Structure 1
Amino acid sequence: MSKTIIVTGSTDGIGKLTALSFAEKGHTTYVHGRNEAKVDTVVSEIKTKTNNQNIHGLVADFSDLEAVSELAVQIKKYIPKIDILINNAGIFKTKEVHNKNGLDIRMVVNYLAPYVLTNAILENIKQSDAPRIINLSSAAQAPVSEAVLIGKEQDSENSTYAQSKLALTMWSFNLAKQEPSINVIAVNPGSLLNTKMANEAYGQHWSPAEKGVDILVDLALSVNYKNDSGKYFDNDKGGPKGYFAPAHPDAYDVLKIRNLLTVTNKLLAN
């Protein structure tokens, strides 16, 4: 049965390859990016490669939370039922450290944007018989500094990236408890995959991008994971495929999660 799937950050890297894989399997797939021309090009490319005409584009700059909210309004209006949301959009290296609101762009794109988007379209996701949200975490996870989150202090790009990914994981676990009808899984798709992000950041890669694509498609579609909501899949473990493993200890700390969400909601309300 064809599913309706949104993959954020899918104009290159594992996001693009994952969208292509869904399209090949006949699913209605939404490609997202910040550049309209690039989104249109990727949509056309996937349609041609797969002969699947149910491929559509979504445009929003995830460093701009107002743009994310506007995208959510469009999605709510035009995509009444969402079976799978893959929060893949992410950033590590960036010329501009802060967005227009003075927040670190890594924190915005990797955590706040998916938080805003997902919460805004939850009702559309709940229309699915078996909804799933797959949040792309990372092996890099570090305790979240409130000062860094709200833009009061600046940390190194490595540290801020790791903080953003732990924040995403903590929220994922909380969302799984909040929304028992939705299967929410956080995943490290694999460290240093052969993607633009890894090559720009480190000038090298350890594994092919397909390793990450395979696990994302598997987690999104396989019945094997229907009872694994609120877990963290570590694709660096084992081989060729990883397994569910413990995330950072803070991801299980109820008080720290509550504080994170309180600060997040207060920040977004401003």
Structure 2
Amino acid sequence: MKKAKAIPVPPPPGYLEEWRATNNTCLVTGATDGIGRALAIRLADAGQTLVIVGRSKEKVSAVLKDVGDAGPHRSHRGFVADLSLISEVDRLADEISQKLPDLSRIVLCAAETPGFRGITGEGIEAGFAVIYLSRFQLLNKLTPLLKQQQAPRIVSFASPVTKFERPDTSALNDPDCTLDSWDRRTAHTNCNLLFLMELAEQLKNTDICINAFGPGLVLTKQMQGYSVMRRFCLGMKSSLVGKSAPYAALPAMHMLLSPDFADKTGGFYECGTKIPPDKQILSKEIRQQFWTETSQLVHLAQANKG
């Protein structure tokens, strides 16, 4: 598979001064831990206005303080939402649409943590909801707002070096699913890649740029359940193996803020490398079928609300 260099890591000298000349309102989900937290703090330091989302009120408050310390001259905000529940995603999207009319950047980092499993009260598997279904619903609900902005951008954390297999949403949403943590995470990633490619196609006549970003092997909570062999195999594909979360966040910042990405959309990036999508992801029929399956699960969750 041919790879083309796309993102300098770290970005070239002077990048912070260039980025600090801008002021975008940036929404970051999963901002209370790992790369999401590091990215939020770095964006604040780069002069951006941050909107962070997390499940814990205490963690949101703590990170909001860190963000404020890094970028003291902006009106940063925090929202508490359980993204395993579509009702919470709907509430969050409605609140953001009302309170953040200038939202122009969205970063989707929220992911399941080890042990976060089980069927929610809405009939959806919790990990599947957090890492995929919530992203699908949140972006669809916020797209009308983004269309009102000048050159908005979306970055979704989903590693394109993952081997592609057509995800089975029925199995992923089964309480008795026998997939191990690695296989479930692989399937969740492929769900996001299919969705992002289809959404990019739907938005191709707009100014919205949407791309997938894999940060490489960074030892966050999501990696703790992987065996040494799994980590080694993933690390062989990554130029950021063993790097810290703040360092791994730099390419995502480049995608969000650099003029180099002003017109790039529908791309899959792993660290500093652009990865050609699997031919199945390019299949319009497969993408649209998957979109329909996902929409049905969203409707199921909404019907089970309460």
Q: TM-score, normalised by structure 2?
A: 0.80
Distance of 2:222 and 2:47 partners within structure 1: 28
Q: One-letter code of the match for 1:123?
A: P
> Does the aligned pair in 2 maintain the 1:183–1:228 contact within 8 Å?
yes
Q: Distance in 2 between matches of 1:3 and 1:185?
A: 18
Give the Cα–Cα distance (whole angstroms) in 2 for the partners of residues 137 and 148 of structure 1: 20
Match among 149, 154, 159 for residue 183 of structure 2: 159
Alignment of 1:65-84 (within 5 A): 65-84=86-105
For 1:78, give the aligned amino acid: K
Amino acid at match of 1:194: L
Shift of 1:153: 5.8
Runs of 4+ in 1 over 6 A off after TM superposition: none
Aligned twin of 2:299 = 269
Q: Which residue number in structure 1 is paired with residue 304 of structure 2?
A: none
What is the correspondence of 1:40-55 to structure 2 with a 5 Å cutoff?
40-55=61-76
Aligned counterpart, 1:132: 153
2:270 aligns with 234
Equivalent residue for 1:209? 245
The question of 1:219 aligning with 2:255 is answered: yes
**Contact 1:23–1:52 (CA<8 Å) still a contact in 2?**
no
State the Cα distance separating 1:92 from its structure 2 match. 4.9
Question: Tell me, which stretches of 5 or more residues in structure 2 are unaligned?
Answer: 1-21, 232-240, 301-306
Identity %: 24
Distance 1:249 1:234 in 2: 18
Report what 1:198 is aligned to: 223
Separation in 1 of the partners of 2:227 and 2:33?
A: 18
Q: Does residue 213 of structure 2 align to residue 187 of structure 1? A: yes
User: Over aligned residues, Cα RMSD in angstroms?
Assistant: 2.0
| 2:138 alignment partner, one of 95, 109, 117 | 117
TM-score, normalised with respect to structure 1: 0.90
Q: Match for 2:42: what amino acid?
A: S
If you compute each CA radius of gyration, which structure gives the higher value, 1 or 2? Answer: 2
List alignment gaps of at least 5 residues for structure 1: 236-241
State how far apart, in whole Å, the 1-side matches of 2:116 and 2:31 are: 21
Indicate the residue corresponding to 2:79 in structure 1.
58
Question: Which of 261, 283, 287 is 1:253 aligned to?
Answer: 283
- What is the match of residue 28 of structure 2? 7
* 1:28-39 pair list within 5 angstroms: 28-39=49-60
Higher relative contact order (CA 8 A, sep 6+): 2
Report if aligned partners of 2:125, 2:175 keep a CA contact under 8 Å in 1: no
